[in-house]
Structure 1
């Protein structure tokens, strides 16, 4: 049944005529008449007895009006409650999140969220590839430095930055001598540019180990294999206890973590609740907050 046609029927029945209903709603009389006729045809029922100047509900029309009025009023109240945030989050919430953030933080985040919102069925998929939110049915995506997408809106909820770090047992090489390095790709031999007070310096590298995971890279750097370019949040505790030392900040844009969702639809109570939970976990969105949230690993 067409709910819009049903709403038009109840509008006409409530006002006792097409003309009065059209004036009250500010809509064309012909449109209301056509929609009611379509509803009658769909139900194979006559809902109004039409006279020269009068319009009277049939017995079937009166029954439908009484029952539909309660139904439509309940739907309006439910929609208003959801829009006002009064509806309790419930149902399925599908999230896609990047690998490193999932390995270090999403377990704790999702556990806390599940305890706070037991009626939400949370499903998290870990992957670094771009996903099609609409096609693949995700409600929310967390991404690192995402490309602009006109179909999505979102916000930054965390920032991080890269450091060149090494074991204190590994001496920093003299100028023009390459440093042994742990890299993400075997072909990565580009020098690292470090920030300094006078602008910057270049550190040549000699890759000794290539790994695809930043956690693996950190473990190798801890072991003294070579220096590494790693996020501050991942090595903050190592720097604090002296198991790693910083050779300098990498001269590169900040790492930004975004929450993204489709702009074509309003946020559900589930998505709004998860965004609020992230804001509560990371109110300032700094690398230090992420490191403190994750703890030592």
Structure 2
């Protein structure tokens, strides 16, 4: 008998809890489905399930075989989808979730280029500074910054974000330039307040000594764009991911504070729901994201990228 069908009937019987239910999935009678299962057991030379009138129970051998059989069938299905995708034109709605500031600063050009390339896809971008439940909220993918919690989501790393502290030259001229992390206690601090936080502020010296600081912030906000605006207006020293401040550091509107100290690196990931298979329109958008954001801190200029690379070593 066809071995692939036997494998599929076996996995379906375990998933459904009965041989009859597995047969219905493939349009087989219970007797024929049972024959496929028996043929598989004859082939491997070991009993995979213990049958009773009411239920199926996996043997120890069956439990191990089931895990690998399911993986084989999933891989085959994914290969079928990917082969079909090579000839498919992406179409339909693409729903993306992303952090507010990152999305507003950097996703516009990527989305515009993607829509120009794939005219039959409609894109909706949902900007919010919280972890979105992709399945519950119907998202095709999300961009997430920081270490990911354990989950069944499939993550693809795009780039690294470097945390740093900076301030307007006017603030530093009036309040002084810190030369040590503990000098920050004498400054007005601007920090993030929300579900995803960067506290405590962390700095590691060239000698390897780390300072984790939890000084009170004079101003806190749950939006990094507002934090940026306060810092640009001379409201104090702000701490956050480099992509928020990059353009203003390059123009001199902001000045890096404690540049000789390293701060943590946060990865930028594109995450998709639990299914291993990613549809065409989502896969192609992720590829465009990789092209736009490949490397360490791609929003920094070449000089700043080189300096950031040195600080990480």
Pairwise same-fold verdict (TM > 0.5): yes
Report the equivalent of 2:207.
Answer: 198
**Cα distance in 2, alignment partners of residues 281 and 26 from structure 1:** 44
Is 2:223 the counterpart of 1:213? Answer: yes
Q: Which of 249, 273, 281 lines up with 2:284 in the alignment?
A: 273
2:283 alignment partner, SS class: helix
1:271 alignment partner, SS class: helix
**Cα distance in 2, alignment partners of residues 106 and 85 from structure 1:** 26
Q: Which portions of structure 1, spanning 4 or more consecutive aligned residues, are displaced by more than 4 angstroms?
A: 22-28, 79-82, 173-177, 201-206, 249-252
1:290 alignment partner, SS class: coil
Measured after TM superposition, the shift of residue 23 of structure 1 is: 7.0
Is 2:238 the counterpart of 1:233? Answer: no
**Cα distance in 2, alignment partners of residues 150 and 204 from structure 1:** 29
Report the equivalent of 1:180.
Answer: 188
Count of residue correspondences:
226
1:146·1:258 contact (CA, 8 Å) conserved in 2?
Answer: no
TM-score between the two structures when normalised by the length of structure 1: 0.64
**Cα distance in 2, alignment partners of residues 94 and 196 from structure 1:** 42
**Cα distance in 2, alignment partners of residues 240 and 155 from structure 1:** 29
1:199 alignment partner, SS class: coil
Report the structure number with the largest CA radius of gyration.
1
* Runs of at least 5 residues in structure 2 that lack an aligned partner in the other structure: 10-22, 31-79, 302-313
* Runs of at least 5 residues in structure 1 that lack an aligned partner in the other structure: 1-21, 39-78, 293-297
RMSD: 3.6
1:218·1:230 contact (CA, 8 Å) conserved in 2?
Answer: no
Is 2:121 the counterpart of 1:120? Answer: yes
Measured after TM superposition, the shift of residue 227 of structure 1 is: 0.7
2:143·2:270 contact (CA, 8 Å) conserved in 1?
Answer: yes
Q: Deviations over 1:87-124 (max 9, x none)?
A: 11111211111212112112222112111111111122
